[in-house]
Structure 1
Amino acid sequence: MKFLEVISSAAGKYFAIFVILTAAAAFMMPAPFLVFGPYITILLGIVMFGMGLTLKAVDFKIILKNPVPVIIGVGAQFVIMPLAAFAIAYMMSLPPELAAGLVLLGSVPGGTASNVMVYLAKGNLPLSIAMTSLSTMLAPITTPVILLLLAGQWLPVDAAAMFMSIVQVIIVPILLGLMIRRFFTQTVEKSIKVIPLISVVAIIIIVATVVAGNVENIASAGMLIFTATVLHNGFGLLLGYLTAAALKLDEPARRAISLEVGMQNSGLGVALATAHFGPLAALPSVAGAVWHNISGPILATFWAKKPVKPAEGDEGRRAV
């Protein structure tokens, strides 16, 4: 078990590198990775099940104890990211599949990797976890509605079918994980450090599978996709921070909201795009899976070296 814990820790620490290397291998030798195509949804369910195993009741208490920062952060996430994606898609005149895929990436909830980045950045970790949890639970409603409003002009959106997909792929596995943790607490606690390894492997396989199925599309439009994704992520990180600052939240909360808004659940984006829009629409989320895990650590490292100073007027507005 100790050996697996060491590997799990390394996998989480060097996740971005593993994603890049595996994606490159899938691009150059796609055949071995195509066999995983039918299992993308199952793999994402495994990731969400792992998330459920790691959640505790205390993670939700901040929502009841001090809901304002959580509401601000989640509201910013579901407003800034979809609108930024919509604007970028228009300005760059993206093809319909890529435009819808970018809006989809902006409409999914925050990813669990953001929690690690917030911790490293000396941000407000309880706020980050609460935002991830709440945005994920709201996703069955918010994601289909946002897509219907913003992406319907490019591709047809079946909101009801997408609602069911999110419930099946995210909500059910998370609830199952929570139940197992509740009734088998000691067993889960003993294996909790290995769970990140399972999640990392599952996400890497998902990314590699989509890359393998889109070699020609990536070769012809790879730079366009990557540029759109980098811009989208940058707007999310910047505007998330500025929104929290404008509402006079303290510095740790600003860092948490910035990273939560900017880092999306790209695995969910890949699964939903593949199931409802086609594999080409999944490419922005694939690029997001790579870039978010590069920009996130860079920003977290920068902030980790800067002392946290309370901003003027922060008293009484702290998230914890």
Structure 2
Amino acid sequence: MRANCSRSPACSANASREESPVGPEVHGNLELVFTVVSAVMMGLLMFSLGCSVEFRKLWLHIRRPWGIAVGLLCQFGLMPLIAYLLAISFSLKPAQAIAVLIMGCCPGGTISNIFTFWVDGDMDLSITMTTCSTVAALGMMPLCLYLYTLSWNLEQTLTIPYQNIGIALVCLTIPVAFGIYVNYRWPKQSKIILKIGAILGGVLLLVVAVAGMVLAKGFWNSDMTLLTISFIFPLIGHVAGFLLALLTHQSWQRCRTISLETGAQNIQMCVTMLQLSFPAKQLVQMLSFPLAYGLFQLLDGFLIVAAYKMYKWRSKNEHRKKNTGREEGCHNKKSPSPNETGAFLEMNEEGAITPGPSVLTDLHTTREPTGHVSSCT
């Protein structure tokens, strides 16, 4: 695939000779930061998150891959389409449009896994989706790029980072496999590792955000249109993924998971592909988009987590008030055991339960001997 940007000032032939000489140095620093931080994050973080995965539930997702199918449709159906529409709507320059499209065609990143854990999402589905989208990227990335660039008259060769995809798969599957094994053999210790991993994941995300802002302080003077796209792109991805999951009748837990998986992209893979496909002079302009996208997707993730925690806290307070009122009006009513309460919450999270004979029997037992229903329900 070739990119014809002869009429664009972003081309190396038309670029200004007064370009800043610090471009290659910043480019090298960014490469080092993304490589080191990503390796540490994917190793330690995925091992700790793997401690929350149960092999039985993981196998269930593989046997009935409805959630995975919806996630892949969001990842390689919605995100490339959104990227293409944004590039056309904002009339981006050829180099900038290609950067946006490449970001939309990338698979999901590991950042979505830690955010999914914080919003009580389906960790088994989240990790499975991340793995499957990375595997599918071997074929879906070149296919999506080919389809959406047919009308762009491309001359620049776009190199798919197959080696980077393979490394990402290894760094993802091996730590998760160890985490699953630890959860199977030592379930109590795995909970401690999971809590430490959640804290470590938050610290690593903050380090990535701060390092990105420090190293990219010169990029914030770039085109405001590109920054605007990098801000709204992950938001649109989160909303579109949630709506598609909701339309396909997924549970609320899966809707949250698919939403976070859709908006969070693999930033390092996008950066690597840009490095392999374009000269250093163009990279100074093109790298500003994936870097800004990464920072904004972190910000969006923290906002989603904060909103969920606030909603959960308010729901608990309202539930506590209702229970207090019921206890005052029904002193003689037996409160449900912790096991019954936990079972009800688990069933309510997975979806609606069809009333069966046992449920109907329970309904009959709640009636008074006189035939009137008790008010303490």
Partners of 1:116 and 1:227 in 2: how far apart? 26
**Aligned amino acid, residue 263 of structure 1:** A
Partners of 1:225 and 1:48 in 2: how far apart? 28
Counterpart in the other structure of 1:36: 29
Partners of 2:276 and 2:259 in 1: how far apart? 29
Quickly say closer, same or farther: Cα 1:200–1:246, change in 2 above 3 A.
Answer: closer
**Aligned amino acid, residue 211 of structure 1:** A
Counterpart in the other structure of 1:258: 259
Among 278, 285, 291, the residue aligned to 2:296: 291
Partners of 2:177 and 2:295 in 1: how far apart? 32
**Aligned amino acid, residue 301 of structure 2:** G
Matched, 1:127 2:125: yes
Q: 2:39, 2:171 within 8 Å by CA — same for their partners in 1?
A: yes
1:221-236 aligned within 5 A: 221=223, 223-236=224-237
**Aligned amino acid, residue 219 of structure 1:** N
Q: Which has the higher contact order (CA 8 A, sep 6+)?
A: 1
What TM-score do you get using the length of structure 1 for normalisation? Answer: 0.70
**Aligned amino acid, residue 287 of structure 2:** A
**Aligned amino acid, residue 302 of structure 1:** A
1:159-308 aligned within 5 A: 161-174=159-172, 177=175, 193=196, 196=201, 200=205, 203=208, 207=212, 211=216, 215=218, 218-221=220-223, 223-277=224-278, 278-279=282-283, 280-304=285-309, 305-306=311-312
Matched, 1:68 2:70: no
**Aligned amino acid, residue 282 of structure 1:** L
Larger CA deviation: 119-128 vs 258-267: 119-128
Query: For 1:162-185, what per-residue CA distance to the aligned partner results, in whole angstroms no more than 9, with x for missing partners?
Result: 152433542344456568879999
Among 133, 137, 140, the residue aligned to 1:139: 137
Q: 1:109, 1:264 within 8 Å by CA — same for their partners in 2?
A: yes
What TM-score do you get using the length of structure 2 for normalisation? Answer: 0.61
Runs of at least 5 residues in structure 2 that lack an aligned partner in the other structure: 1-21, 316-344, 355-377
Partners of 2:73 and 2:272 in 1: how far apart? 24
Matched, 1:98 2:123: no
Quickly say closer, same or farther: Cα 1:143–1:179, change in 2 above 3 A.
Answer: same
Q: 1:62, 1:126 within 8 Å by CA — same for their partners in 2?
A: no
Runs of at least 5 residues in structure 1 that lack an aligned partner in the other structure: 1-28
1:150-165 aligned within 5 A: 150-151=148-149, 153=152, 155-156=154-155, 158=157, 161-165=159-163
Aligned sequence identity (%): 20
Quickly say closer, same or farther: Cα 1:176–1:287, change in 2 above 3 A.
Answer: same
Q: Secondary structure at the match of 1:248?
A: coil
**Aligned amino acid, residue 29 of structure 2:** F
Partners of 2:54 and 2:349 in 1: how far apart? 30
**Aligned amino acid, residue 228 of structure 2:** T
Partners of 2:54 and 2:353 in 1: how far apart? 27
Quickly say closer, same or farther: Cα 1:178–1:76, change in 2 above 3 A.
Answer: closer
Q: Secondary structure at the match of 2:265?
A: coil
Q: 2:42, 2:110 within 8 Å by CA — same for their partners in 1?
A: no
Counterpart in the other structure of 2:75: 77
Partners of 2:59 and 2:349 in 1: how far apart? 25
Partners of 1:206 and 1:155 in 2: how far apart? 34
**Aligned amino acid, residue 98 of structure 2:** A
Report which of the two has the higher share of helix.
1
1:220 is displaced (CA, Å) by 3.4
Query: For 1:97-147, what per-residue CA distance to the aligned partner results, in whole angstroms no more than 9, with x for missing partners?
Result: 111111111111112121222222233232222211211222222222212
Larger CA deviation: 284-293 vs 143-152: 143-152
Q: 2:54, 2:180 within 8 Å by CA — same for their partners in 1?
A: no
Partners of 1:298 and 1:198 in 2: how far apart? 16
Quickly say closer, same or farther: Cα 1:301–1:198, change in 2 above 3 A.
Answer: closer
Partners of 1:231 and 1:299 in 2: how far apart? 14
Counterpart in the other structure of 1:17: none
Quickly say closer, same or farther: Cα 1:116–1:269, change in 2 above 3 A.
Answer: same
Partners of 2:350 and 2:96 in 1: how far apart? 43
Partners of 1:35 and 1:113 in 2: how far apart? 23
**Aligned amino acid, residue 88 of structure 1:** L
Q: Secondary structure at the match of 1:36?
A: helix
